[in-house]
Structure 1
Amino acid sequence: MIKSKKIKAIIAMGILAVIAFAGCSSTASNQAQKSEQDKTIKIGMSGGYYPYTFKNKDNKIDGFEVDVWNEIAKRTGYKAEFVTASFSGLFGMLDAGKIDTIANEITITDKRKDKYLFADPYVYSGAQIMVKKGNDSIKSPEDLKGKKIGVSLGSNYEQIIKDFDKKNEIKVVTYDNDGGMRQDVALGRTDAMMDDKVSALAVVQENKIPLQLAGKDVQPLENAFPFVKNDENKEVIAKVNKALNDMRADGTLEKISKKWVNLDITKK
């Protein structure tokens, strides 16, 4: 009888242990899931690239990129934290783990694809030459020979010019400040500049800068969010892509686009 009671007690203890273990396992799983949902994504941006990312009249970060990431955060459960820095330093910050991705109209290039994982493209634009208003002598890269063209330091536009200019007949001037670059072109210090077509148009219209588009797009651009290559970021990208696809399907991406640039730049 005593042995029977002991056996029952042992069995009961075993059952309780299993339940406790299952409960701990479930709690750990829930905590892991909650932790993943509460993950903060640090998003690097220049804060000086209207209308994509800029400081508004209240000195708060604003723009197309901010709206897109705030919506992604809502749909994924991630918390979006915006980190501003000079554009030329953003990729270094990404490599060092100081930020998780960059939202500054980052063009997908073969060189960047070798180094980073990219989410799906969310903006389609073009590399555009701009010149001082009234200057009709430049319509294409061919017309830049013997002239100076400005590009943002660290951008892909310098590479576009170099790929065309095999004989080094074009002088490329790099700028850490887009405003200074536009000002130099407007004053005739630099003959032209290359920028994202949509941004160039928006800046000219917003600030009444005496610049104009020179010819057609030099080449089409697909822009996306880059991440450091690792397994964790593959999971993050999968969630970001789902959010972007849902935003495109329900019209949210188009709405954000038209809010900032009066046209839909989110479809190819």
Structure 2
Amino acid sequence: MLKTLVTAAIAAAGLSGAAIAQENDTLRVGMSGGYFPFTFVRQDELQGFEVDVMNAIGEEAGLDIAFETMSFSGLIGALEAGRIDTIANQITITPEREEAFVFTQPYVIDGAQVVTREGNTEIESVEDLRGKTVAVNLGSNFEQLLRDLPYADEIDIRTYESNIEQDTALGRVDAFVMDRVSSAQVIQESPLPLELAGQPFSEIRNAFPFRDTDEGRALRDRVDEALAALKQDGTLTEISQKWFDSDITTSATEAE
């Protein structure tokens, strides 16, 4: 009750959204908990690259991080409704999303990748997806990337909540599309015979979205400042090396 009165007094005094955000030091972070190695549950513990990055941001920015897991397809709606403050689940910056949210600087530079069953000679690049059945995660940017292709009407796009690689092995789809980093991990970890088909066909930049309000922008600024510090001191690179044995937080140009 006291905190509510203090916040109301700040608002009545006409202070900035940043001052309000400083009053609330808990950042509610939504994630699926089913996107290895970015966010997943093992032995009842939520872990992964996103979890480590968010915990580092919390320590740097003086924020308590409260993780909330839900289906990937429900994350954007939860953010819009104010049930969470941001999403840590490889959310790609797109023009449509920039109209709805404010983003931090990118913290992962990646690319869209086609994956097929091992030994598939019919699909060697994204152009070969014509006439094929292709799986993507429901609500992901990869679905939109495929629908934006000039020959999208020739692709049978199927959406799944998770584990789309199992459908590939069972023959229900010809290929699936996901981010380059995750696809390499899936091939390494999965018992299924999978392989990359060609090179990544689109660069994607992933960042943390916030609601476009005074409080949302103030929280975004705090997280963005922490991200800049973690990039500068090498913490982001260390976390990336831990999970991927490479630095996925910068582009090849930035790394030079």
TM-score range, shorter chain: 0.7 to 0.9
CA contact (8 A) 1:141 1:161 kept: no
Aligned to 1:152: 137
Give yes or no for the alignment of 1:52 onto 2:35: no
Q: Percent identity between the aligned chains? A: 47
Aligned to 2:7: none
Aligned to 1:74: 59
Deviations 1:15-67 (A, max 9, x none): xxxxxxxxxx9xxx9xx9798265111111010000000001x2111000000
Q: After superposing the two structures, state which structure 1 stretch, 34-43 or 227-236, moved more.
A: 34-43
TM superposition shift of 1:233? 1.7
C-alpha separation in 2, matches of 1:171 and 1:43: 33
C-alpha separation in 1, matches of 2:117 and 2:41: 26
C-alpha separation in 2, matches of 1:150 and 1:214: 14
Q: After superposing the two structures, state which structure 1 stretch, 94-103 or 137-146, moved more.
A: 137-146
> Which TM-score applies when normalising by structure 2?
0.88
C-alpha separation in 1, matches of 2:222 and 2:97: 21
Aligned to 1:107: 92
Deviations 1:220-241 (A, max 9, x none): 0100001110111222111111
Give yes or no for the alignment of 1:91 onto 2:107: no
Aligned to 2:188: 205
Alignment of 1:15-30 (within 5 A): none
Alignment of 1:185-200 (within 5 A): 185-200=168-183
Structure 2 gap segments, 5+ residues each: 1-9, 252-256
Q: CA, structure 1 residues 34+164, in 2 after alignment: closer, same or farther (shift >3 Å)?
A: closer
CA contact (8 A) 2:21 2:218 kept: no
Q: After superposing the two structures, state which structure 1 stretch, 204-213 or 237-246, moved more.
A: 204-213
SS in 2 for 1:80: strand
Deviations 1:150-173 (A, max 9, x none): 011111111111111446111000
Report how many aligned residue pairs link the two structures.
237
> Which TM-score applies when normalising by structure 1?
0.84
TM superposition shift of 1:136? 2.4
Give yes or no for the alignment of 1:140 onto 2:125: yes
Moved over 3 A (4+): 32-35
Give yes or no for the alignment of 1:214 onto 2:200: no
CA contact (8 A) 1:148 1:171 kept: yes
Aligned to 1:183: 166
Aligned to 1:15: none
Which has the larger share of helix? Answer: 1
Structure 1 gap segments, 5+ residues each: 1-24
Q: After superposing the two structures, state which structure 1 stretch, 126-135 or 38-47, moved more.
A: 38-47
Root-mean-square deviation (CA), in Å?
2.0
CA contact (8 A) 1:37 1:76 kept: no
Q: CA, structure 1 residues 165+34, in 2 after alignment: closer, same or farther (shift >3 Å)?
A: closer
Give the aligned residue type for 2:50.
E
Q: CA, structure 1 residues 167+223, in 2 after alignment: closer, same or farther (shift >3 Å)?
A: closer
Aligned to 1:4: none
